[in-house]
Amino acid sequence: MILVGISNRHHRTRDLTTSPIKMRRGRAMDHETGGAETFTEFMEKELIPYIDSKYPTTAYRTLIGHSYGGLFTINMLINHKALFQNYIAIDPSLDWDDQKLLKQAKEKLRTENYGGKSLFVSLAAEQLHMWDEAITMENVMNDASEFTLFPRSIIEFSNEAKSQTQSGLNFSWKVYEEDLHGTVPLPSMRDGLIFLFEWYQFKSPQKYNNPETPIEELVVLLKEQEQIYTEHFGVPTAPMIDEMLNGYGYMNMQMGQPEKAFMFFEMNIKYNPTSANAYDSMA
């Protein structure tokens, strides 16, 4: 994959928030706000075309954001879903502007189709209330204070997204009981990527390793794997990366299975016609 990090040290509040506000949590906002649509336009018309022009990309993309970036990520899914297939929103600030995006998202999840899109949301529960340690996941929804609006908004959104199965959205969320807002990104990204790419996990490795498996069955398994990858990525995709095709070829040679070895080496050449290693292995 190609990892693109978008630095936003100086204009984070301006670029990642979805609507302009003057007050937040009882205090005046001393930063410019509400520029998410402009930032989205930058990503769509400048950043993504630049990456596509410089690297061998596909249109299969994942967006990850934390806090205000999580708010931006959910806004991208709800209002600009064509740009990305996958989304990870880490402790998203869905309390922003009196839950304006949350209310919009709930309506759109009930009326629009998000088939083919996947979203993972996380919530750090170590500090549900900034002043009161007695607030837990069991009672937080009963607290009406401004201090719990942040977690209550995430819980409300997640419950809604989970219930609106007709939207087609592939959705999951997780509460991290022992994490703070600042420590939750790392476990969220790991768990989120595992959820988003659950379909990518290689199927039936035991059958590939077993010398008793007929070659005809291996061919069927490889075709099924290829179909799974191609359907998700949207472009023709090999059933295995070149190192695995090569490795299974040599493994079958060592097990005295020349026909199977030939099949794997031949497939490696088919999918990697410019690889000198593929031809060397076949030779």
Coil, strand, or helix at residue 212?
coil
Q: Return the bridge partners of 90, or none.
A: 66, 122
CA distance 79 to 186: 26
pLDDT at 207: 96
Q: What is the end-to-end Cα distance of the chain in Å, rounded?
A: 30
pLDDT at 9: 80
Q: What is the pLDDT of residues 103-131, one digit of tens each?
A: 999 999 999 999 999 999 999 998 888 88
- Give the position of tokens 């097990």: 255
Q: Quick one: pLDDT at residue 178?
A: 93
Q: Which residues of the chain have pLDDT under 70?
A: none
Confidence at residue 135, expressed as pLDDT on a 0 to 100 scale:
87
Provide the token pair at 26: 């009882």
Q: Is 118 exposed, middle or buried (0-12, 13-18, 19+ CB in 10 A)?
A: buried
| Contacts (Cβ under 8 Å, ≥6 apart) of 185 | 66, 90, 91
Strand-pair category, 62-66 with 170-176? unpaired
Domains of the chain: 12-199 (3.40.50.1820), 202-282 (no CATH)
pLDDT one-digit tens code per residue, 216-265: 999 999 999 999 999 999 999 999 999 999 999 999 999 999 999 999 99
